[in-house]
Structure 1
Amino acid sequence: MAKKPNTPAAGQIRIIGGLWRGRKLPVPHSPGLRPTTDRVRETLFNWLAPVLQGAHCLDCFAGSGALGLEALSRYAASATLLEFERPVAQQLEKNLALLNAKDAKVFNVNTLNWLAKAGNAFDVVFLDPPFRKGILQDTLNLLEQNQWLADEAWIYVETEAEHDTLDVPASWRL
């Protein structure tokens, strides 16, 4: 039996619901890029349904863009996608153009550097950082310290299974 290759292949994501339901979008090959599965996204966006319409969303470590694009498809007011890898950010720009998504912006930046500045408050924040890089806690701290979160903001965190606990600010509800 052949072994599965260690490096991910280029592929695609599918928008699960909303305006662009069923649309398939290309995702480039990039080590460590692992789009959130359809099943997880469907569950997540069912939970977010009451707060998503009209929300301003921040997709940190956007990667495939699956979370930010799904939010836009489900009538979020805007989505800001942060992606460090240039080829991945370029594909995100192309996918936004394919969808004619006018209310989205892609920034080819280091997320921690971007969050280190004061910013505008977001209603929904998606955090799916590269695994085993030790940057999730710093990301949480910067979101709080630099007022990136609206009152009653919702934050989705996807992390490796062995990550036991997060030290979240006292003002946050889990």
Structure 2
Amino acid sequence: MRIISGLYKSRKIVAPKKLPVRPTTDMAKESLFNIINNHYYFDDISVLDLFAGTGNISYEFASRGTLNITSVDQDYGCIKFIYQTAKNFDMPIEAIKSDVFKFLEKTSLKHDIIFADPPYNFSEVQFACIPEIVFKNSLLKDNGLLIIEHSKQTNLSQVSNYSYSKNYGGSVFSFFE
């Protein structure tokens, strides 16, 4: 994986092969960040990266100047990799090992952007739990955005607070406001 833009543009990050991850492709990530760039100043926002995996999305935000980034994953290897990579690049990323659903129920911090990339084999009910908890607990700031990455086989258009989706290759980003 590589960082698309910003301070660390073109830097490659190689994750250990044993991590249970499916990183967002560079093409999909670049398209996603083009959308985000039209709505936010990266240095003014706070980001919550759920099911963070390798930290791919968190690194992109950090490279573009975001100073408040929290990455959450339940896999110790993923959190250790994110922590070490953030330390090596001097990126402001807080890595937290936790079950995402338990974290969302406990946290009271609000974010401008919450990005979730759960396993593609989640059921639609499991996917729908993410926006349900986020909006029930008011975890987004005013004009905040929840983005969920999923496969084309998953349709989240009937979930509360759904706004729109964008398809990129085999990935779909659904936006909730």
Which interval holds the TM-score relative to the shorter structure? 0.7 to 0.9
Using the alignment, how far apart are the partners of 2:53 and 2:134 within structure 1? 19
Structure 2 counterpart of 1:29, one-letter code: K
Offset of residue 160 of structure 1:
1.9
Q: Percent identity?
A: 24
Offset of residue 165 of structure 1:
2.8
SS of alignment partner, residue 159 of structure 1? strand
Partner in structure 2 of residue 113 of structure 1 = 102
Note closer, same or farther for the CA distance 1:154–1:145 as it changes in structure 2 (3 Å cut): same
Partner in structure 2 of residue 15 of structure 1 = 3
Structure 2 counterpart of 1:145, one-letter code: K
Q: Which has the larger radius of gyration?
A: 1
Q: Which runs of 5+ in 1 are unaligned?
A: 1-12
More strand by share: 2
| Aligned residue among 8, 19, 22 for 1:34 | 22
Cα RMSD (Å) of the superposition? 1.6
Using the alignment, how far apart are the partners of 2:127 and 2:18 within structure 1? 20
Task: Give the structure-1-normalised TM-score.
Answer: 0.85
Note closer, same or farther for the CA distance 1:37–1:98 as it changes in structure 2 (3 Å cut): same
For residues 153-168 of structure 1, what are the structure 2 equivalents within 5 Å? Answer: 153-168=144-159
Q: Which runs of 5+ in 2 are unaligned?
A: 165-177
Note closer, same or farther for the CA distance 1:31–1:87 as it changes in structure 2 (3 Å cut): closer
1:147 aligns with 2:132: no
